[in-house]
Amino acid sequence: MRPDCRVLIVASASPEQLIGIETRPDVVIAADSGLHALLAAGWIPDRLIGDLDSADPSAVQIAAEGGAVVDRYPVGKNETDLELALAAAVDAGATEIRVVVRSDGRLDHQLANLFALAKPDWSTAEVRANVGDHVVWVVRGERRLEVEIGQHLALLPIGGPARLTTCGVAFPLANEVLSAFDGRGIANEATESVVSLGVSDGVVLVVSSPAQADDPNDTTDSVASAAQPGS
């Protein structure tokens, strides 16, 4: 096992989402139709995994002839293709996992993808996802995020409440509990280029969304509430 093993998982995505990845990671995994984006970018994955119901057979053949290991599962399986790919990444010894997936499509699939990112089975790796134009980090324990000052950040507990301490954001938290059912952490922003987070209990998804034309210029009530303990 490598001391540092970076794994890229490409699920349903566009080739444009791979443009910023200049250096090939240690392991590249295609989850079903993610194969199309990888081939369009000129990469053969090390592994192709899933039920392959959305992958063109000719593309599957190109991947196999190019050396990819093809793991085909039945359509009636219990896991999503992304879950299978994440499990394969952990089996490969991943210490960092980057997932690339589109942000449109069926809502149930989008939710399942986000939930899958935080599954305890891959807690040995740092997980980050590019979901369309959004960036999602899974935070357990201590983690430092390199961001741009002013970058939007939402702190979303998943699977239950989370106890969280943050530094480098406009509305920091000090060993405070965020509920998975409240929107208290929905709107925050980075005040430093490195944001530090410490999650002592639970799991937090940190979501950075691109600015929208209709975003308010002033801080929202939800941002202000993030600074108020017990609000």
pLDDT at residue 228 greater than cutoff 60: no
Please give the average per-residue pLDDT across 120-148, as a whole number: 95
Rounded Cα distance, 161 and 202, in Å: 6
pLDDT band at 222 (very low <50, low <70, confident <90, very high): very low
Stretch 130-159: mean pLDDT: 95
* Predicted confidence (pLDDT) at residue 170 exceeds the cutoff of 80: yes
In order of start, what are the domains of the chain with their CATH numbers?
1-132 (3.40.50.10240), 133-231 (2.60.120.320)
At residue 212, does pLDDT exceed 80? no
Average the pLDDT over 169-197 and give the result.
94
Calculate mean pLDDT across residues 205-229: 60
Is the dihedral angle over the CA atoms 57, 62, 63, 64 positive or is it negative? positive
Does residue 224 register a pLDDT over 60?
no
Determine the Cα–Cα distance for residues 185 and 208; give it in Å rounded to an integer. Answer: 12
pLDDT, tens digit (0-9, with 9 covering 90-100), for 44-87: 999 999 999 999 999 999 999 999 999 999 988 889 999 999 99
Q: Is the pLDDT of residue 216 over 60?
A: no
